[in-house]
Structure formats: C-alpha cells, structure tokens
Structure 1
Amino acid sequence: MVNLTLIPSAAAKGAVCLDGTVPGYHIHRGSGSGANNWLIQLEGGGWCNTIRSCVYRKTSRRGSSNYMEKILPFTGILSDKPDENPDFYSWNRVKLRYCDGASFTGDGQDEAAKLYFRGQRIWQAGMEELMSLGMRNAGQVLLSGCSAGGLASIVHCDEFRELFPGTTKVKCLSDAGLFLDAYDPIYESFLTIILRKKLMAEDLKHQLTLLCLLFFGPLQCFFPQNLISNIQTPTFLLNTAYDVWQLQASLAPPSADPHGNWHACKLNKSNCSASQIQFLQGFRNQMLDAIKGFSTSRQNGLFINSCFAHCQTEGQDTWYGTNSPTLENKGIAKSVGDWYFERSEVKAIDCPYPCDKTCP
C-alpha cells in the first residue's frame, strides 16, 4: 500500500487537474540492484469528450486530486515481490495519477465551466518532480501505462526518451492502449466522433508529431495505429485482439445498437452469434494490419493475445500468476522482461478466438 504524494509546485506552472487541484503520484523506492532503475506507470481511466462530461469528471478521482485514493496497492508490474514481478520488483516504481481527461495531453481551459485541460503540463510537472527525486541518474527506465495511460505512453514515449542521456536504457510499454479507428455495426467510427469533439474542446494538436500531422491531420494522429510507426524509442505493445473496452464502448455503443442486438454478446462472448463473431474477427484482422509496420523493427516487441480483456499489467492474475495468459509457453511478465533486457526477441501474436485456452 503506497501513499499519495501531491506536487504543490505544479500549481505555479498551471499543471493542474480538471478542477484546478494539483496532481499527484505514488512512489515505492527501489532497493539493491534496482535502486537506480525506474518504472513509471501512467494511470488510465478513459476520456471526457464534452464540457458536460468533463464537468462531471471534476467531482471524481479522474478529475481532481481531492477525490483520489490516499493509498493504493501496488500489484502486477508495480509489485515489490520477486515471486509476483521477477524483473522489476526492486526498481523505483511510480504511478502518476490521471486527472486531465485526455491521456496527459492538451493545454487549454474553459473559463465558463471552470475547467483546466492541462494534461501536457501535468506530464511535464510529474517528470520534473521524478527527475529531482533521482530519476535523472537512472541506468534503466521503463515508461508504461494502461488504457488511456497506455495511449499516453505511446504519445509521450519519444519525449520521455529525450529526458535522459544516451547511456540510459529507455523503453516504453503500452498496455491496452492500441485504440483502433474501427467501424461499428452501422459503419460509424465512435472514437472518431469522440476525438472530433475533444479537439473542439481543447488544444491537443501541439502534442502530436509533425510527421504524423503532415500525413494524417490532428484527428487521425490520436489513433495509435498512426503514431506507432513514427516512434523512435523501443516500444512494447501488449494488447488483446478483442479488447473488452473497445467492444463494449466503441465497437457497439448504444448509438450503433439501438435495438440491443449486441447487448448479450458484449456481456458474454459465448452469447455472440456467428455473424457477430465474424465481425470481431474482422476487428482482430484490422489490428494485425495496423501493427505490421511496427512489428518489423527489431527493437519493438509484441504480445497480442486472444483473450477478452482490457489491461493485463496491473492485475496479478494476468501479469504473473499461476493461470496467467501465455503465448508460445511464455507469460506476459516474462515476455516483457525478455524484451526489455534483450534476452530474446518477442513478437507473439495469438491465433483467433477461441483457440487460446490460457485466458482467465
């Protein structure tokens, strides 16, 4: 159980949560051989995509440090136990809390609604704080994140690399952050609609790489499939080919399923019809197409399994447990560790559902 630490100095830099409170983080110090290594996990938790939804979010831990848990358990990739987290247990492990509603990006405000969209400044303030605590002297670092935090680890990966000298080993891990610009059953892109509203609400464009903007424009550049090919820093993509969040919230949202034909399927995959399974296999194929270029780089890693899940690094049952998912007889923690320490190349892609019997 690790205490919350606020960053009072962030206020003077305008690095504040949606409601204007200062951001925070949890840190558990490393020891022994890991005392000079750092693992940063960017917290996830969706987006708010309208002024109304962001105002609502101000009264939650996702928009205000007033509502954040004061103590959090560190499990999975953050665990300090070697039998739960064999490669990173002795490192300095940090969870940077998420309270800007846009994956640690954006720099604006809405005075009428008293909203502060300061994700980029929160990122910078968080990194400055950790560098002052000793991260600037790190020998090895890993930037990770799950869901909206997984997207943030992609967006900020090269920026993170620039914080360190060339002698520091720097890599990034995105868990369940590969949100696809996929079409729902009535052939609309729910996530595109969300992003269009988001771009109208605040300034996100400056966070995107110039190369991506030239090819795709700001709307498409927030989809990881258009960002990953430009990342220069070694990156590991951990994702299921049937991401539960995207299935429930974006592939078949109520707007695309007014008669509830997908309701039972979303709750339990065994209730899916043959045509619905075919639709899901098409989503899987789209994901595999999106990562083809990324996978050709020797420095990158992949673990794309066929479980119906969302986020697999935070929970002990999926990260490193007796019944954790495996590919090629190797679990997620071992795969990430082998890739990070370059013990072996990891480019594991599962066969289509329902072949995988290791899913929890």
Structure 2
Amino acid sequence: MAASAFLLISCVLCFSQAHRVANLVLLPDAVNDGAVCLDGSAPGYYIDKTSVNRWIIHLEGGGWCYNKSDCYYRASSWLGSSTYWNRTSHLRGFLNNDPDVNPEFANYSVVFVPYCDGASFSGNVNDPITVNDKKIYFRGHPILNAVLSALIQKEQIDKAEAIILTGCSAGGLSTYLHLDYVQSMFPNIKVHGLADAGYFIDAANIHGEMYIRGQYQHIFEMQNCSGGVNSDCIRSKEESERWQCFMAQYTYPYIKTPIFVFNAEYDTWQLQNILQVGCKAPNCNESQMQLIARWRTMFLQTLQPVIRSTTNGLFTDACIQHCQSLADRTWSKIMVKNQTAHDTFVDWLDLKGTGIVRAVDDHTYPHNPTCGKPHIPKG
C-alpha cells in the first residue's frame, strides 16, 4: 500500500505546450513555529501572482503515509521533504494561464502548496517520532497555517475579492477538510472550493473487507488529525467515530462554504486501492469489469448528497481517470451534458451564463466518446 501513496498527479495528461510557471517560496521562519515537513525541513509554496483580486490556492495531492515506516521512507522524497522541491513548478489545466485552455481563470493568481506531511495537511503531533534513528514530524495543519499566514503577510491575499481553494486526490480530500477553515481565515472574502478526485468512499473491497476504513482511521489517529479537520464534523461524532471526519463522504454534510465536486465515476485510484479489483481498468476480464460496473453504481449512490444539493456544484464523468483538473484535456475537453468541467464550474460560479451546474454522466464506460485514454496511476 505504501507505493500507492505516490500517486501520479501531474504531467501524464499534459498535452498543451502552454503552461503557467510558478516560483518556489520557502518559509524557513515557519520552522520555529513547528510548521515542518515529515523530515523537519521548511514548508513553502509556489506562486505566480498576476492579480490582486482573484486567487486560486491549490493543495497538492500524493496519497498518504499509512504507518510510521511508510512515513519514514516518504520523508526521503519530495512528498516528505522540501529539500527535493524544484525551484519552479509548471502548472496546467485549472491552474494554466493559457486563455485557450482556461479562459475564465487564466488571469487569476495561483498558489500551489506542495504536500509534505502525509495526512492531507491535517495532522499535529507535538513531539516527533523516531524511526531508524531519524526524527519524523507530523505537522500538516501547522504547515497550512504557516502558508496562509505568509500569503497574508507577503502576498496580501487578504485584500482579495475571491479565493478558490482546490486540490486533487489527497489534495482534493484536503479541500473538503479545510474549506470552511480557509473561509474562516478570510471572513470578508468570497471563498469557493473545487475538490478534484477527493471523494474517497468508505466501501468494501472485492472480499467484503472494509480495508480502506482501517487505513484512514490509523492515519487520523497516528497524526492526531482531530484538530485539523472540519470542526463541525468532529463535534457531531463520538470519539470512536471522529476518524470519519477524515473522509469526504462523512465530512461533506458539514461543509458550509460552497464547494464544487469533480470526480470520475471510475476513479482509478479507488478501483485499485479501495475496491482492490486486482487489475488496471480497462485491462480487466469480464468478471472484473462487472465488479467495476457495480462500483460505479455504489459510488453514485454515495454521491447522492452532492447530486441532490441545491447549492453545491458537481461534474462527474464516466471516464477511467484520476485527478482531472490538472491536465488541459481533462479539464477542458471531456464532456458531460454537452459541456466541460471548466464550463460547468464557470456556470456554477455564475461567472457567465445559466448552464448546468450539476452534471452527472448518463454514460457507462466506454460510451462517453470524449473520455480519451484512461489515466492509470502508478502504485
């Protein structure tokens, strides 16, 4: 399971030559406040500042570390240490500044927050643990606080008119977990969320085992996440059930800030790691494809609170994909109800038009001709 933490979340589906370049800003002073990556290195963010008024904050994904040993190995990678980060980041899809790909958002300032805590920016354990004589820190929520504080002090984001919080995969989950918190940090600013591929569901695998439930519960407890997720969700739960607030389907009903849900109905990471179907769709036998078809039905049932919402937005496609907002084609070419994710999100924000704001694909795989090549994450 450790290998599956390193999700392939960028550049696999990047076909456009045009892209946004953001520059790294490290926050060494944050170390003194306890905001550090798994290995104790400083957090930071990438930024391309083009607008004072409109901002996108993207929380990077990349799975989770499921136990102490897993976190130890992760701490020696770019998902656990800022010492491995490049000086620039190349951004596409929803973060692209190419108006042909991303016309409504090309002029937004973009902050890309690299992920180095292993628990979706939620953990906070005072004392480091020691694994193989190496100190490992669980400080994801202090990292989020440090980045937001720096954006206020250095970038004056508190002067904005609009902020969109987004992320994909583990970063999509982060969007569910932290959206209300970000809104509370900017009470006079209109905040919206776009959660991509973060609606991981509490479902049994092909053997009937609730395997993923145990994984999320252990992460939640190991990294002491109760103070770093949606506070209304935590208050509503008995202590034994608070781990549920680390999953989108359980925390979604408590989110007050407007959120747009973007997910493939055949999410490849969930097929491999929650359903554990034993193949990489569509390269599966008939029996396995039947299991996958039943998964889609169950996923859409679990998604019903979003589908029935009268305020939140939705774009869910019958494609074999994972993390679609970061690639130009999946953001601006895949069609549901004759419109793209970009167009549906724009209509939901009411930036233009009065089109469909909750688009659920009527197709089953492989009958949506706009899906293109499946995206199969490594792991």
Structures share a fold, TM > 0.5? yes
Question: After alignment, is 36-45 or 110-119 more displaced?
Answer: 110-119
- Give the aligned partner of residue 74 of structure 1: 91
Q: Which residue of 2 aligns with 1:340?
A: 349
What is the match of residue 190 of structure 1? 211
SS of 2:342 mapped into structure 1:
helix
CA–CA separation in structure 1 for the residues paired with 2:217 and 2:122 = 15
Over residues 278-307 of structure 1, what are the superposed CA-to-partner deviations in whole Å (9 max), with x where a residue is unaligned? Answer: 322222222222222233332200001110
Q: Which runs of 5+ in 1 are unaligned?
A: 253-261
1:272 — aligned with what?
285
Distance of 1:341 and 1:129 partners within structure 2: 30
Q: CA deviation at 1:111?
A: 3.1
Aligned pair 1:45/2:65, yes or no?
A: no
Provide the rounded CA distance (Å) in 2 between the counterparts of 1:142 and 1:224. 18
| SS across alignment from 2:274 | helix
Q: TM-score, normalised by structure 1?
A: 0.90
Question: Could you say which residue in structure 1 is the equivalent of 2:261?
Answer: 237
Aligned mate of 1:355, from 367, 372, 379 = 367
Which among 305, 308, 317 is matched to residue 305 of structure 1? Answer: 317
Give 1:14's aligned amino acid.
G
Match of 1:258 in 2: none
Greater alpha carbon shift after TM alignment, 215-224 vs 310-319: 215-224
Give distance in 2, aligned partners of 1:68 and 1:124.
20
The structure, 1 or 2, with the larger RCO (C-alpha pairs under 8 Å, 6+ apart) is 2
1:178 paired to 2:199: yes
- Pick closer, same or farther for the CA change 1:40–1:209 going to 2, 3 Å: closer
Cα RMSD after superposing both structures: 1.7
Q: Secondary structure of the equivalent of 2:306?
A: helix
In structure 1, give the amino acid aligned to 2:34.
G
Change in CA separation of 1:354 and 1:236 when aligned onto 2, cut-off 3 Å: same
Map residues 77-156 of structure 1 onto 2, 5 A cutoff.
77-108=94-125, 109-113=127-131, 114-132=135-153, 133-156=155-178
Where structure 2 has 5 or more consecutive residues not aligned to the other structure, the ranges are: 1-20, 373-379
Cα distance in structure 2, aligned partners of 1:315 and 1:23: 25
How many residues align? The count is 341
1:208 aligns with 2:232: no
Q: Is contact 2:120–2:174 with CA below 8 Å preserved after alignment?
A: yes
Q: TM-score, with normalisation over the residues of structure 2?
A: 0.86
Do the aligned partners of 1:153 and 1:172 also contact (CA within 8 Å) in 2? yes
Once the 2 structures are TM-superposed, how far is the Cα of residue 267 of structure 1 from its aligned partner? 2.5
C-alpha distance in structure 1 between counterparts of 2:232 and 2:148, whole Å:
25
Residues 41-92 of structure 1, C-alpha deviation per residue, up to 9 Å, x if partnerless? 1000000011000000011000000011222112111111211211111011
Q: Which moved more, 1:350-359 or 1:229-238?
A: 350-359
Q: Distance in 2 between matches of 1:97 and 1:170?
A: 21
Q: 2: distance between equivalents of 1:340 and 1:125?
A: 28
C-alpha contact (below 8 Å) 1:304/1:348 kept by paired residues: yes
**Residue 358 (structure 1) shift:** 0.9
Q: Stretches of 4+ moved more than 6 A in 1? A: none
In the superposition, relative to structure 1, how do residues 144 and 232 fare at CA in structure 2: closer, same or farther (>3 Å)? Answer: same
SS in 2 for 1:4: strand
